[in-house]
Chains A and B, each alone.
Chain A
Protein backbone atom coordinates (compact mmCIF):
# COMPACT_ATOMS: atom_id res chain seq x y z
CA UNK A 1 0.00 0.00 0.00
CA UNK A 2 1.42 3.36 -1.08
CA UNK A 3 1.48 5.86 1.79
CA UNK A 4 0.59 8.90 -0.29
CA UNK A 5 -2.67 8.51 -2.23
CA UNK A 6 -3.05 9.84 -5.76
CA UNK A 7 -6.44 11.50 -5.25
CA UNK A 8 -8.81 12.61 -2.48
CA UNK A 9 -11.11 9.75 -3.40
CA UNK A 10 -8.29 7.26 -2.90
CA UNK A 11 -7.25 9.09 0.29
CA UNK A 12 -10.64 8.57 1.95
CA UNK A 13 -11.14 5.03 0.67
CA UNK A 14 -7.75 3.84 2.00
CA UNK A 15 -7.58 5.96 5.17
CA UNK A 16 -8.85 3.13 7.44
CA UNK A 17 -6.18 0.67 6.28
CA UNK A 18 -3.39 3.26 6.43
CA UNK A 19 -4.44 4.34 9.93
CA UNK A 20 -4.49 0.71 11.04
CA UNK A 21 -1.00 0.04 9.66
CA UNK A 22 0.30 3.20 11.35
CA UNK A 23 -1.23 2.01 14.63
CA UNK A 24 0.35 -1.43 14.26
CA UNK A 25 3.78 0.10 13.66
CA UNK A 26 3.44 2.14 16.90
CA UNK A 27 2.18 -0.82 18.98
CA UNK A 28 5.54 -2.38 20.02
CA UNK A 29 7.13 0.78 21.49
CA UNK A 30 4.07 2.77 22.57
CA UNK A 31 3.42 0.56 25.61
CA UNK A 32 6.94 1.02 26.96
CA UNK A 33 6.80 4.77 26.29
CA UNK A 34 3.46 4.98 28.15
CA UNK A 35 4.76 3.04 31.16
CA UNK A 36 8.02 5.06 31.26
CA UNK A 37 6.22 8.41 31.08
CA UNK A 38 3.77 7.35 33.83
CA UNK A 39 6.72 6.48 36.10
CA UNK A 40 8.23 9.94 35.45
CA UNK A 41 4.89 11.63 36.16
CA UNK A 42 4.42 9.81 39.47
CA UNK A 43 7.98 10.73 40.49
CA UNK A 44 7.17 14.39 39.70
CA UNK A 45 3.87 14.30 41.61
CA UNK A 46 5.17 12.50 44.71
CA UNK A 47 8.59 14.14 45.08
CA UNK A 48 8.99 17.25 42.96
CA UNK A 49 5.90 19.42 42.60
CA UNK A 50 5.28 21.61 45.69
CA UNK A 51 2.17 21.36 47.85
CA UNK A 52 -0.55 23.86 47.02
CA UNK A 53 -0.82 26.41 49.87
CA UNK A 54 -4.58 26.25 50.54
CA UNK A 55 -5.66 22.69 49.63
CA UNK A 56 -2.48 20.81 50.53
CA UNK A 57 -2.27 17.12 49.53
CA UNK A 58 -5.75 16.71 47.97
CA UNK A 59 -4.76 19.21 45.25
CA UNK A 60 -2.34 16.59 43.88
CA UNK A 61 -5.40 14.63 42.64
CA UNK A 62 -5.47 17.38 39.97
CA UNK A 63 -2.60 15.60 38.11
CA UNK A 64 -4.71 12.51 37.41
CA UNK A 65 -8.17 14.09 37.38
CA UNK A 66 -7.52 16.63 34.61
CA UNK A 67 -5.64 14.18 32.28
CA UNK A 68 -8.45 11.61 32.73
CA UNK A 69 -11.00 14.25 31.71
CA UNK A 70 -8.78 15.31 28.77
CA UNK A 71 -8.50 11.70 27.53
CA UNK A 72 -12.27 11.38 27.89
CA UNK A 73 -12.65 14.31 25.43
CA UNK A 74 -10.08 12.83 23.02
CA UNK A 75 -11.60 9.32 23.14
CA UNK A 76 -15.11 10.52 22.38
CA UNK A 77 -13.78 12.80 19.63
CA UNK A 78 -12.27 9.62 18.10
CA UNK A 79 -15.65 7.86 18.47
CA UNK A 80 -17.33 10.84 16.80
CA UNK A 81 -14.91 10.97 13.83
CA UNK A 82 -14.75 7.21 13.33
CA UNK A 83 -18.57 6.91 13.55
CA UNK A 84 -19.04 9.54 10.84
CA UNK A 85 -16.50 7.76 8.65
CA UNK A 86 -18.20 4.40 9.32
CA UNK A 87 -21.59 5.77 8.24
CA UNK A 88 -19.96 7.23 5.14
CA UNK A 89 -17.61 4.41 4.11
CA UNK A 90 -19.19 1.36 5.86
CA UNK A 91 -15.75 -0.08 6.56
CA UNK A 92 -15.67 -2.40 9.59
CA UNK A 93 -12.33 -0.89 10.61
CA UNK A 94 -13.95 2.49 11.34
CA UNK A 95 -16.51 0.68 13.45
CA UNK A 96 -13.74 -1.09 15.38
CA UNK A 97 -11.87 2.23 15.89
CA UNK A 98 -15.04 3.80 17.34
CA UNK A 99 -15.99 0.80 19.50
CA UNK A 100 -12.54 0.49 21.10
CA UNK A 101 -12.20 4.26 21.67
CA UNK A 102 -15.62 4.25 23.39
CA UNK A 103 -14.53 1.42 25.66
CA UNK A 104 -11.28 3.11 26.74
CA UNK A 105 -13.01 6.52 26.87
CA UNK A 106 -15.62 5.06 29.24
CA UNK A 107 -12.82 3.86 31.52
CA UNK A 108 -11.30 7.35 31.64
CA UNK A 109 -14.71 9.01 32.17
CA UNK A 110 -15.17 6.70 35.18
CA UNK A 111 -11.69 7.68 36.38
CA UNK A 112 -12.42 11.41 35.95
CA UNK A 113 -15.67 11.07 37.91
CA UNK A 114 -14.16 8.91 40.66
CA UNK A 115 -11.03 11.01 41.17
CA UNK A 116 -13.23 14.13 41.16
CA UNK A 117 -15.40 12.61 43.91
CA UNK A 118 -12.35 11.77 46.02
CA UNK A 119 -11.12 15.35 45.54
CA UNK A 120 -14.54 16.83 46.25
CA UNK A 121 -14.96 15.16 49.64
CA UNK A 122 -12.06 16.92 51.45
CA UNK A 123 -12.48 20.25 49.61
CA UNK A 124 -16.27 20.66 49.19
CA UNK A 125 -17.27 18.36 52.04
CA UNK A 126 -19.24 16.08 49.74
CA UNK A 127 -18.50 13.37 47.16
CA UNK A 128 -21.19 14.55 44.80
CA UNK A 129 -23.25 17.62 44.01
CA UNK A 130 -25.65 18.19 41.10
CA UNK A 131 -23.38 20.86 39.63
CA UNK A 132 -23.53 21.50 35.84
CA UNK A 133 -20.03 20.12 35.11
CA UNK A 134 -20.53 16.98 37.20
CA UNK A 135 -24.05 16.32 35.96
CA UNK A 136 -23.15 16.76 32.26
CA UNK A 137 -20.16 14.41 32.75
CA UNK A 138 -22.43 11.84 34.41
CA UNK A 139 -24.81 12.12 31.41
CA UNK A 140 -21.85 11.43 29.09
CA UNK A 141 -20.98 8.38 31.23
CA UNK A 142 -24.54 7.06 30.81
CA UNK A 143 -24.58 7.76 27.04
CA UNK A 144 -21.38 5.80 26.38
CA UNK A 145 -22.38 3.16 28.96
CA UNK A 146 -25.52 2.69 26.85
CA UNK A 147 -23.38 2.59 23.70
CA UNK A 148 -21.26 -0.21 25.18
CA UNK A 149 -24.34 -2.12 26.39
CA UNK A 150 -25.83 -1.99 22.89
CA UNK A 151 -22.57 -3.37 21.52
CA UNK A 152 -22.30 -6.05 24.19
CA UNK A 153 -25.82 -7.47 24.10
CA UNK A 154 -27.12 -6.92 20.56
CA UNK A 155 -26.27 -9.44 17.86
CA UNK A 156 -23.22 -8.10 15.98
CA UNK A 157 -24.00 -6.84 12.51
CA UNK A 158 -24.35 -3.81 10.30
CA UNK A 159 -27.60 -2.65 12.01
CA UNK A 160 -26.00 -2.55 15.46
CA UNK A 161 -22.88 -0.84 14.08
CA UNK A 162 -25.09 1.79 12.43
CA UNK A 163 -27.12 2.37 15.60
CA UNK A 164 -23.94 2.59 17.70
CA UNK A 165 -22.44 5.09 15.23
CA UNK A 166 -25.51 7.32 15.58
CA UNK A 167 -25.30 7.13 19.41
CA UNK A 168 -21.56 7.87 19.20
CA UNK A 169 -22.17 10.99 17.10
CA UNK A 170 -25.09 12.34 19.15
CA UNK A 171 -23.33 11.53 22.44
CA UNK A 172 -20.36 13.67 21.46
CA UNK A 173 -22.59 16.77 21.52
CA UNK A 174 -22.35 16.55 25.32
CA UNK A 175 -18.55 17.09 25.25
CA UNK A 176 -18.60 20.86 24.39
CA UNK A 177 -21.45 21.27 26.91
CA UNK A 178 -19.26 19.69 29.62
CA UNK A 179 -16.32 21.89 28.67
CA UNK A 180 -18.28 25.15 28.59
CA UNK A 181 -20.62 24.34 31.51
CA UNK A 182 -18.37 26.13 34.02
CA UNK A 183 -18.61 29.31 31.92
CA UNK A 184 -22.32 29.05 31.05
CA UNK A 185 -23.64 28.28 34.54
CA UNK A 186 -22.62 29.19 38.07
CA UNK A 187 -20.96 26.01 39.30
CA UNK A 188 -19.14 24.67 42.31
CA UNK A 189 -16.58 23.13 39.97
CA UNK A 190 -13.72 25.61 39.44
CA UNK A 191 -13.27 27.51 36.19
CA UNK A 192 -10.18 26.91 33.97
CA UNK A 193 -6.93 27.53 35.88
CA UNK A 194 -4.26 26.47 33.38
CA UNK A 195 -4.44 29.49 31.11
CA UNK A 196 -6.49 32.51 32.05
CA UNK A 197 -7.15 34.71 29.01
CA UNK A 198 -7.88 37.92 30.97
CA UNK A 199 -4.82 37.49 33.18
CA UNK A 200 -1.75 36.20 31.28
CA UNK A 201 0.36 36.29 34.45
CA UNK A 202 -2.21 34.23 36.37
CA UNK A 203 -2.82 30.53 35.97
CA UNK A 204 -0.60 27.77 37.30
CA UNK A 205 2.97 28.24 38.60
CA UNK A 206 5.67 26.74 36.31
CA UNK A 207 6.32 23.59 38.39
CA UNK A 208 2.62 22.69 38.50
CA UNK A 209 2.20 23.46 34.79
CA UNK A 210 5.17 21.22 33.85
CA UNK A 211 3.81 18.36 35.98
CA UNK A 212 0.35 18.77 34.50
CA UNK A 213 1.68 18.81 30.91
CA UNK A 214 3.81 15.71 31.58
CA UNK A 215 0.78 14.00 33.07
CA UNK A 216 -1.41 14.96 30.11
CA UNK A 217 1.18 13.46 27.76
CA UNK A 218 1.60 10.27 29.82
CA UNK A 219 -2.12 9.56 30.23
CA UNK A 220 -2.66 10.30 26.51
CA UNK A 221 0.05 7.73 25.67
CA UNK A 222 -1.66 5.18 27.96
CA UNK A 223 -4.95 5.85 26.17
CA UNK A 224 -3.33 5.52 22.72
CA UNK A 225 -1.65 2.25 23.66
CA UNK A 226 -4.80 0.70 25.19
CA UNK A 227 -6.87 1.82 22.21
CA UNK A 228 -4.41 0.39 19.66
CA UNK A 229 -4.16 -2.84 21.63
CA UNK A 230 -7.96 -3.25 21.66
CA UNK A 231 -8.24 -2.36 17.95
CA UNK A 232 -5.65 -5.01 17.12
CA UNK A 233 -7.50 -7.58 19.25
CA UNK A 234 -10.88 -6.84 17.65
CA UNK A 235 -9.41 -6.97 14.14
CA UNK A 236 -7.62 -10.24 14.91
CA UNK A 237 -10.83 -11.72 16.40
CA UNK A 238 -12.68 -10.73 13.22
CA UNK A 239 -10.04 -12.43 11.04
CA UNK A 240 -10.05 -15.57 13.21
CA UNK A 241 -13.86 -15.78 12.99
CA UNK A 242 -13.56 -15.59 9.20
CA UNK A 243 -10.93 -18.35 9.17
CA UNK A 244 -13.08 -20.51 11.47
CA UNK A 245 -16.10 -20.09 9.18
CA UNK A 246 -13.98 -21.13 6.17
CA UNK A 247 -12.65 -24.17 8.01
CA UNK A 248 -16.16 -25.22 9.14
CA UNK A 249 -17.33 -24.92 5.55
CA UNK A 250 -14.51 -27.01 4.16
CA UNK A 251 -14.84 -29.64 6.88
CA UNK A 252 -18.50 -30.02 6.00
CA UNK A 253 -17.36 -30.81 2.46
CA UNK A 254 -18.24 -27.58 0.64
CA UNK A 255 -15.72 -26.34 -1.86
Chain B
Protein backbone atom coordinates (compact mmCIF):
# COMPACT_ATOMS: atom_id res chain seq x y z
CA UNK B 1 0.00 0.00 0.00
CA UNK B 2 2.96 2.33 0.67
CA UNK B 3 3.90 2.40 -3.05
CA UNK B 4 0.37 3.21 -4.08
CA UNK B 5 0.13 6.11 -1.62
CA UNK B 6 3.65 7.32 -2.49
CA UNK B 7 2.78 7.38 -6.21
CA UNK B 8 -0.42 9.37 -5.65
CA UNK B 9 1.30 11.77 -3.22
CA UNK B 10 4.07 12.36 -5.75
CA UNK B 11 1.57 12.86 -8.59
CA UNK B 12 -0.27 15.54 -6.61
CA UNK B 13 2.94 17.14 -5.32
CA UNK B 14 4.38 17.52 -8.84
CA UNK B 15 1.11 18.87 -10.25
CA UNK B 16 0.80 21.38 -7.41
CA UNK B 17 4.46 22.33 -7.74
CA UNK B 18 3.94 23.12 -11.42
CA UNK B 19 0.71 24.96 -10.63
CA UNK B 20 2.56 27.10 -8.09
CA UNK B 21 5.10 27.97 -10.80
CA UNK B 22 2.28 28.94 -13.21
CA UNK B 23 0.65 31.00 -10.46
CA UNK B 24 3.96 32.78 -9.72
CA UNK B 25 4.34 33.66 -13.40
CA UNK B 26 0.79 35.01 -13.40
CA UNK B 27 1.62 37.22 -10.41
CA UNK B 28 4.73 38.61 -12.15
CA UNK B 29 2.68 39.35 -15.29
CA UNK B 30 0.09 41.25 -13.25
CA UNK B 31 2.84 43.29 -11.53
CA UNK B 32 4.44 44.10 -14.88
CA UNK B 33 1.08 45.14 -16.36
CA UNK B 34 0.44 47.38 -13.33
CA UNK B 35 3.86 49.00 -13.69
CA UNK B 36 3.27 49.68 -17.39
CA UNK B 37 -0.18 51.10 -16.63
CA UNK B 38 1.40 53.45 -14.04
CA UNK B 39 3.96 54.57 -16.62
CA UNK B 40 1.18 55.20 -19.16
CA UNK B 41 -0.83 57.21 -16.62
CA UNK B 42 2.25 59.23 -15.52
CA UNK B 43 3.05 60.08 -19.12
CA UNK B 44 -0.44 61.47 -19.78
CA UNK B 45 -2.04 61.53 -23.23
CA UNK B 46 0.35 61.25 -26.16
CA UNK B 47 0.83 63.88 -28.93
CA UNK B 48 -2.20 64.34 -31.13
CA UNK B 49 -4.40 62.51 -28.66
CA UNK B 50 -5.29 64.97 -25.92
CA UNK B 51 -5.75 68.62 -24.93
CA UNK B 52 -1.96 69.18 -24.61
CA UNK B 53 -1.44 68.60 -28.33
CA UNK B 54 -4.45 70.74 -29.22
CA UNK B 55 -2.86 73.59 -27.27
CA UNK B 56 0.21 73.19 -29.44
CA UNK B 57 2.56 71.88 -26.74
Contact = CB atoms under 8 A, between A and B. Distances in A.
A56 B1 CA distance: 8
B10 A115 contact: yes
Interface string A26-63: 00000000000000001000000000000011101100
Interface residues of B, number: 24
B14 A114 contact: yes
A119 B3 contact: yes
Interface of B: 1, 3-4, 6-8, 10-11, 14-15, 18-19, 22, 25-26, 29, 32-33, 36, 39-40, 43, 46-47
The main secondary structure of chain A at its interface with chain B is: helix
A119 B7 contact: yes
Interface string A114-157: 11001101100000000000000000000000000000000000
A115 B11 contact: yes
A233 interface: yes
A252 interface: no
Nearest to B11: A64
Interface of A: 42, 56-58, 60-61, 64-65, 68, 104, 107, 110-111, 114-115, 118-119, 121-122, 222, 226, 229-230, 233, 236-237, 240, 243-244, 247, 250-251, 255
